[in-house]
Amino acid sequence: MKRILYLAALLALGACNKEFQNPSTASQTQVVTSSDGLLTLCNGLQYRYTTNGLLSVLYNATALGGLSTRELAILNVGNIEEYNVSLGAGNVSNSNGVVRNVWTQCQLVRANADLVLANVGNAPEVGTRSGIVAYASIFRALALGTLAEFFEQAPLVTGDNAPFVPRAQLLAEAVTQLETAATQLAATPVSADFTSKVVPGLDLANTLQALIARYSLEAGNYDKAIAAAAKVDLTKKSVFNFDDNTRNPIFEVAFGNRNVFEPTDYSLGLTGTGALAPSAADQRLPFLMRANPTPTQNRGLAFYTANNAPIPVYLPGEMLLIQAEAYARKNDLPNAIIFLNRVLTKTPAQDSYGLGAALPPYAGATTQAAVLLEILRNRDIELAFQGFRLPDSRRFGRPGPGTTGAERNRTFYPYPRTERENNSSTPADPAI
């Protein structure tokens, strides 16, 4: 991905209204009044969400989700921000850098996606407008969805003392925006001008439906989640691309060295949870990790094996597991098991990314609790190192901090001090 020089004049800190003018950059008015300016901002959304190592949303969301659930283990306690996340509870203060980066970078992505969407009418060609709306909607939804996965509340707008809304409203807003974009994209395919000027890798139509499915499931709208997941072509890839300048952030910071963190063990930290431990025959394990790394190798592999390794926006297995879970929560267990078995029996050769369990079909109890537990086990494996384990732990009602057999060390994170000091609407921090 070519390096994008982001425009300092467009940045806002958190949800408060801060503007910093730089005489060497274009003004906001200049940027949003042309197709080329709006397309540059679209590329900037992806740059901010995915790259810049320790600042990227991808890195920090992976760290928060994995270190708080024993999916990942600290290699060097000198990385104090990550180490405190691994300790959890009161060790994670509102000045923690990992928490702050998830919050601030997501708010910046959301704010600049709002700016693009508010000015998309300045792109004269209808196919270019359609592409811009889809692209900005995807990153706006990713930002809102990520905030909802780690925080109880967050602002939806940028402004002085912007009000906070519950996470359910963040998810609903993300889905509504994605549905609007999907309708426009279906009616008006993207133009050649759009395709030639945006960073390649995203399959817009399939990504819109995949994210509708993801966030509808998290919001408890099971029928919508099933319908959207069924529309995703599982043979198509949608990825964030990287190169030696704009690097895969998890390889760059963590999996490419032995300094920050790595997978806890070859069982993904699930050995202490009994029923969630993976089968030794599961062929996803060697895709995700090295069984016997050398002293200089990080155990982690997955989609983080080189500076230029692409990271999927969603996985085929995620779409199948969304349908399995949604059916199970509707107590339609026969359909839930059908989709669960498509994940269990999928071989690496049958998966577009080479990620397959190649296990026998489900043979456990046909109760809702048992089927949901098997779905969770497969989410923990299929979606490893993607930041989902913490929100999954909450949604599946797994033991939380302070309880016997706790599988996570926090439930939600505190609001960063940078937000609290600039926004009087910031609510009280959650206890854990």
Please indicate, yes or no, if residue 42 is contained in any of the structural domains: yes
Tokens representing 344 are 């269990």
Q: Is the pLDDT of residue 272 over 80?
A: no
Residue 295, strand partner residues: none
Residue 214's domain comprises 8-314
pLDDT for the residue numbered 8: 34
Q: Tell me the sheet residues that pair with 263.
A: 72
Q: Calculate mean pLDDT across residues 313-326.
A: 99
389 with 395: CB under 8 angstroms? no
Residue 365 lies in a domain: no
- pLDDT at residue 275, as a whole number: 84
Q: What is the mean pLDDT of residues 118-144?
A: 98
Q: Strand, helix or coil at 342?
A: helix
Measure the CA–CA gap between 54 and 45, rounded to whole angstroms: 16
Residue 369 lies inside a defined structural domain of this protein: no
pLDDT of residue 28: 60
Contact (Cβ atoms closer than 8 angstroms) between residue 284 and residue 382: yes
Identify whether 253 is part of a domain.
yes
As for how many domains the chain has, the answer is: 1
- Tens digits of residue pLDDT in 207-248: 999 999 999 999 999 999 999 999 999 999 999 999 999 999
Question: Has residue 32 been placed in a domain?
Answer: yes
The enclosing domain of 185 has a CATH number of 1.25.40.390
pLDDT averaged over every residue in the chain? 93
- Percent of the chain scored above 70 by pLDDT? 93
At residue 150, does pLDDT exceed 50? yes
Measure the CA–CA gap between 67 and 84, rounded to whole angstroms: 9
Asked if the model's pLDDT at residue 83 lies above 90, the reply is: yes
pLDDT > 50? residue 92: yes
pLDDT one-digit tens code per residue, 334-375: 999 999 999 999 999 999 999 999 999 999 999 999 999 999
Asked, for residue 411, whether it belongs to a domain, the answer is: no
Distances (CA, A) of 326 to 58, 375, 406: 26, 10, 25
pLDDT at 4 over 90: no
Mean pLDDT of 311-318: 98
Residue 41 has pLDDT above 50, yes or no: yes
* DSSP notation for 137-160: HHHHHHHHHHHHHH-SEEESS-ST
Q: Is residue 377 in a domain?
A: no
Task: Answer whether residue 398 is part of any domain.
Answer: no
- Count the neighbouring beta carbons within 10 Å of the beta carbon of residue 277: 16
Give residue-wise pLDDT tens across range 386-420: 999 999 999 999 999 999 999 999 999 999 999 99
